[in-house]
Amino acid sequence: MSSSVSPDLRIEPWRVVVFYFVAALVFSLLAIRLFRLQVFEGQSWLGRAVDNYTREISVPSSRGIIYDRNGVILARNIASYNIVITPALLPDDLADIQRIYRELSEIIDVPVNSGTLDDAKLFATCVPGPGIAQLVELGESLAPYTPVPIACDADEIIARIVRERAVAWPGVSVQIDPVRDYPTGSLTANIIGFLGPIPASQLDFYEDLGFVAGRDKIGYAGVEITLQDILAGVNGKRVVEVDVAGKELRNLEPPIQPVAGRNVRLALDIRLQKAAEGALLDEISGWNAYFGQVRISSGVTIAMNPKTGEVLAMVSYPTYENNRLARFIPAYYYQQLSEDPRHPLLNNAISSEYPPGSVFKLSTATGALNEGVVTVDQTIYAPGQLILTEKFSPNDPGRERPFVDWIYDENPAGFGEIDYLRCIAFSSNVCFYKLGGGYEDEIPEGLGILRLGEYARALGYGEPSGIELPGEADGLIPSPQWKRINQGENWSTGDTYIASVGQGYVLSTPLQVLMSGATIAAGGKLMQPTIVREELDDDGRLLRPFQPIMKWDITETPLITNFDCDGGYCLEMETKSTVDPFVVEQVQRGMRMAVTNSRGTLNDLFGDFPVAVAGKTGTAEYCDDVALKANRCTFGNWPTHSWTLAYAPYEDPEIIIMAFMYNGGEGASVAGPVVQRVMEAYFELKSIDLAVGSGG
């Protein structure tokens, strides 16, 4: 019989100490960690927990509507129908799901299966490519309770069918989103503009304002961009509780309702706009047919009230169809517009710069009479050609250079002896050469380029007007300093001669030409050109009434004295502080004589017009990249732009109209008829409005 001996179970004391020490250390670390998480990091983790079940939902606001001055809608919001599927609401039976997909596919023309899930990740929302199944699978993996767009901008009839059938299609619904619509389309595209997605470079700025990238759109052109703050409104906000699948459970905060954008009434009269576009396009197509080629490639016509600065019509040709850019911007169409050498995306009325030619003579005429270079009764000899000894410095022996009048080819003898008013009415180049640069003893001291520049700027040249449209150019009024910096040579008397008739380095926008005439027509008051008239709320109540703004009055506002000094060569020529009202009256008389005198440049157009008209024509030689490429920039045979400017009634002006034709030729013959037709349309519309207003 054997016996077993139990092993010694005695534990060494140091082992017990080590065990309790390790246990105490572990629990201490856990306690410290727990204390840190609950006390020091408690708010952070609480915030994360709240974020897990809280979602902020932006509620889009309604963009303001744009009207013309008579209440005709130019931009509005219409319904866009999107067919969507909410993955979490689909039936549990896979066969039922496939049946829904097949039946829906037949209606909306989107395939049930196309590509893979990875392929679907590469496509933006509503871009053709993925099938219904792939789109839903992708949406279910991201947020099963978020509707997945299957077809965007569906036809209204299709949307109605889907909505009716959706009773038997769980998870399928029609989502209605607002989209911008432009009823007048290309007629007003260069004024109204269009919307586009928020660019990446401006994302932070607009997100700080509450906009949502990928959903909200902003203005890209026209008043849609310049009036963005007025039209856009303010998005609302909902803070909701969601479960782990993203399903909304309840509101956590009172919803903040969106604030609709304000409506805007423009100064534009869409009826006159149509008449202006028709007159411009008819004239362009008529002359191009006459020449058997596309000779006139672009043109502008603008009508404005000279007393208030309200732009009643502004047509820039060529233009574009902004409705094609309303829902999304097609890459091919935008590229086509961008590569067009005529630049249809530009509003040529404000963004393009051209030599103004003889319409610029209003600046020379105003300055010369006001500075005493000439008197009203003084006789000026205007031969067909003037020979000037042109000098680039006081010690330069000079060289002879001919300066011809526009009538030279028709009559080499020129206009002969004429007075100041006939200089304007006949638009004699030689007369204005002398007024601008002087000539021997007849006019010892001409106006000079510096004083000419001051008077030109006083009439609106040389800087942007500030009209509520983007991309306005500032034009160019040259000076000796400008020429030395940019051309590397001194100014000459010949440069002054050329600038005096709006040629050479002088550049202006069509709107600036209009402003110069409007200033004279309004008795010296230069009104702020405006395309915006009033702001309205949703109920049509007036929020901001129209208030004309006068920029300055040349008969009261002091002119700025310009000093042009560089390297010791200094031209100082002080101008008078203001323009005498008598001077403005005489320029007006000269413009009126252009109509009433048989030799006046506008006599054939407005001599028998029932309303008294005054105006000025212009034919401007130019040499740009297009002309150089066509080898047309040859001395004595340069191509010419066509300008005409006219206002009425002469005694109390209420309308001034400008027309410009790129490569049009003679101003009175080409641009003049456009002004005439727009003038006729204006007074016809005025008669209609008066008859309607009186109940006749």
- CATH number assigned to the domain comprising residue 230: 3.90.1310.10
Domain interval for residue 164: 81-182
123 and 232 housed in the same domain = no
203 and 131 housed in the same domain = no
505 and 416 housed in the same domain = yes
570 and 659 housed in the same domain = yes
Q: Is residue 510 part of a domain?
A: yes
Number of domains comprising the chain: 3
Residue 467's CATH number: 3.40.710.10
Backbone angles phi, psi at 403, to 5 degrees: -130, 115
91 and 219 housed in the same domain = no
Q: How far is CA 356 from CA 239, 438, 467, in A?
A: 59, 21, 20
353 and 479 housed in the same domain = yes
277 and 261 housed in the same domain = no
Other Cβ atoms closer than 10 A to 505: 18
The answer on pLDDT for 62 being more than 70 is: yes
Backbone angles phi, psi at 117, to 5 degrees: -60, -40
223 and 136 housed in the same domain = no
Give per-residue pLDDT as tens, 150-205. 888 888 899 999 999 988 899 899 988 889 999 999 999 999 999 999 998 999 99
471 and 448 housed in the same domain = yes
Distance CA 382, CA 133 (A): 84
Q: Is residue 14 part of a domain?
A: no
C-alpha dihedral sign at 409, 412, 413, 419: positive
280 and 387 housed in the same domain = yes
Q: Which residues pair with 400 in a beta bridge?
A: 389
Region of 427 on the Ramachandran plot (φ > 0 left; ψ -120 to 50 alpha; else beta): left
Alpha carbon of residue 6 to chain centroid? 102
Q: Which residues pair with 170 in a beta bridge?
A: none
pLDDT band at 1 (very low <50, low <70, confident <90, very high): very low
524 and 611 housed in the same domain = yes
Give per-residue pLDDT as tens, 342-387. 899 999 999 999 999 999 999 999 999 999 999 999 999 999 999 9
Q: Is residue 245 part of a domain?
A: no
Residue 418 in 3-state DSSP?
strand
Distance CA 30, CA 21 (A): 14
Give per-residue pLDDT as tens, 267-319. 999 999 999 999 999 999 999 999 898 999 999 999 999 999 999 999 999 99
pLDDT band at 565 (very low <50, low <70, confident <90, very high): very low
